[in-house]
Amino acid sequence: MVPDIYWRVQDEHSRARFRKGEGILAEDAGKVVDFNDRNMVRHELELHLDWANRRPTPFISCYADYNTALCEAERRINKGKRDVWLLRIDLKACWGEVEFREVRRLAGKTGIWIEEYAWHNSESEYIFLHGIPYYAVRRVKRGLRSSKHRDATCLRFTK
């Protein structure tokens, strides 16, 4: 069963960015990707899942699990990121307009190994192809900061 609600975490260095009135756009939104072409998908997904990669990809990562998104936001804050956002995406608002896949399932089909550091996040991670329309982004929280606790549920929002 596919969830209706997804969560996107972004910071000042994220490749895919939310823009008011436009939505969330992948940096390489013009790249043609055929999910039936295993080699093409493998190449693009490998680049996307490599956290050190700085080449544009046509994908946007989101999480189906709120707590996973909070943990990712906390990780970024603890690494010194200053402009961390949490976006709530309602897929019902754009059903049929977006193409997306579950990361672990797609990695399995294409023979990609998910690195240990990314394994936990990948449990609820989905990739969206090219973009998510602005009207599907139902809530934007900016100014995340840590409450100095290790529990990600203690995240607070400034302002």
Please say whether the beta carbons of 85 and 145 come within 8 A: no
How many domains does the structure of the chain reveal? 1
pLDDT digits 0-9 by tens, 25-49: 999 999 999 999 999 999 999 999 9
* pLDDT over 70 percentage in the chain: 91
Please say whether the beta carbons of 31 and 2 come within 8 A: no
CA distance 61 to 6: 10
CATH assignment of the domain containing 88: 3.90.210
Q: What residue numbers bound the domain in which 39 lies?
A: 5-157
pTM for this predicted structure: 0.87
